[in-house]
Amino acid sequence: MPDWLALYYDDPIEISHGEGRYVWDSAGRRYLDFFGGILTTLTGHALPEVTKAVGEQAGRIIHSSTLYLNRPMVELAERIAQLSGIPDPRVFFTTSGTEANDTALLLATTYRRSNTVLAMRNSYHGRSFSAIGITGNRAWSPTSLSPLQTHYVHGGVRTRGPFAHLDDRAFVEACVADLKDVLGHTRPPAALIAEPVQGVGGFTSPPDGLYAAFREVLRDHGILWIADEVQTGWGRTGDHFWGWQAHDRSGPPDIVTFAKGIGNGMSVGGVIARAEIMNCLDAQSISTFGGTQVTMAAGLANLTYLLEHDLQGNARRVGGLLIERLRAVAAQLPGVREVRGRGLMIGVELVRPGTDEADPRALAAVLEAAREGGLLIGKGGGHSTTALRITPPLSLTVAEAEEGAAILEHALRSTY
């Protein structure tokens, strides 16, 4: 039985402070943070620009409620709306990714007057009742009860499952056929929700263009596409600012949800949708803590730094080097099945050597050995897989990437 509220490591680490890409524990030990908090530290720990903005804002006012306009919220909403690519966009701020997805599901089901939704196998969308209810990854979904009728489709995992042997084009065709088949025997769904790259599922993604192909089918049926960008947004994947842009042949999604890195650790989440979708609710709604001045000030300073320093480009360059370096190590270790990902969203899938089976023990051992070496990494998986998840702040330097890769190589070699 997994521990639902598990802490990492046999002897949990107590973090006391951080700077840049490093954190320190309460005993004064330094770690290179290859998990970026939990993809929450986008530009770096204790980034002076963000800390200053938060301090100055806190000195003026922390929160005046969302009943009143506040300038940092309006400014951040305008900037995110502009970056979204969604026509006539509106932004609603929440305090987490879960709440963002819940809101997106509320909007879609209300707009389309259907409580049926489509989700991807192996997906994760958060821990509220409806977000857990639609989550396809069993390891993260402790209940099978859901307020929504959910049907799951293939495509989120490229290298496993019944279509894994197909080339990219045939894979996409098979997934589209599966989607059409599902639509043939369900009530008309309101939306398909999908992570462009599956996060806790182990950083698995379909071939570029899958969601564009899905989109054509969805449009024919009047079904909305919700892109869950909680992990993939803000340039994390290097090639694109939003993960959905790898599939943008047919334009932006109807609804985008975001959270994690935008506040650089402050609780900022939200939903972006066309005005006609956002305004379909006929009851009042506020998020008491969504859009507070102090979190919005953090988001604004963080986004400004990210764009001015082209951290998306840095993620592409440094992430590319890191992937190459890790693939060279993987080629020598039979327990490393695959190094995948793009930018600074890198998955390292571990298997029992000589088999294609998940290896939770090796995963735990690598994590402990990396910690010993002064490196923090994430873990994940699903679909009977185990994977390391590497998502440092997007400001990672080449020297730091090299340092982390060397520690990880040592941890892998000492495990296998």
Phi, psi of 317 (to 5 degrees): -70, -55
Taking the C-alpha atoms of residue 414 and residue 363, their distance in angstroms, rounded to an integer, is 12
Residue number with the shortest CB distance to ligand PLP? 97
Give the residue with the Cβ less far from ligand PLP, 247 or 325: 247
Hey, what amino acid is at 364? Answer: A
Q: Minimal distance in Å, beta carbon 393 to ligand PLP?
A: 17
User: Which 8-state DSSP code applies to residue 243?
Assistant: G
**Residue number, 157 or 259, with CB nearest to ligand PLP:** 259
Euclidean distance between CA atoms 132 and 91, whole angstroms: 23
- Residue closer to ligand PLP (CB basis): 252 or 270: 270
Q: State in angstroms the smallest separation of the CB of 245 from ligand PLP.
A: 16
Nearer to ligand PLP, 97 or 189 (CB): 97
Q: What minimum distance in Å lies between the beta carbon of 397 and ligand PLP?
A: 26
- H-helix or E-strand containing 303? helix 293-308
Cβ distance to ligand PLP smaller for residue 104 or 351:
104
Under 8 Å between Cβ of 44 and 393: yes
E strand spans, 85-190: 89-94, 116-120, 149-153
Q: How far is the CB of 343 from ligand PLP (least distance, A)?
A: 16
Q: In terms of CB distance, is 97 or 393 closer to ligand PLP?
A: 97
Min. distance of Cβ 100 from ligand PLP in angstroms? 7
- Give the residue with the Cβ less far from ligand PLP, 289 or 416: 289
For the CB of residue 328, give the shortest distance to ligand PLP in the complex, in Å: 29
b (16+ CB within 10 A) / e for 395-412: bbeeebbebbbebbbbbb
CB of 68 to ligand PLP, least distance (A): 25
Nearest-approach distance from CB 126 to ligand PLP, in angstroms: 4
State the pairing for strand pair 149-153/116-120: parallel
Buried b (16+ CB within 10 A) or exposed e, 10-35: eeebeeeebebbbbbbeeeeebbbbb
Mapping DSSP onto H, E and C, the string for 178-230 reads HHHHHHHCCCCCCEEEECCCECCCCCECCCCCHHHHHHHHHHHCCCEEEEECC
Q: What residues pair up with 198 in beta bridges, in sequence order? A: 204
The residues binding ligand PLP (CB under 6 A) are 96-98, 101, 124-126, 195, 199-200, 228, 230-231, 259, 269
Q: Which CB atom, from 20 or from 126, has the smaller least distance to ligand PLP?
A: 126
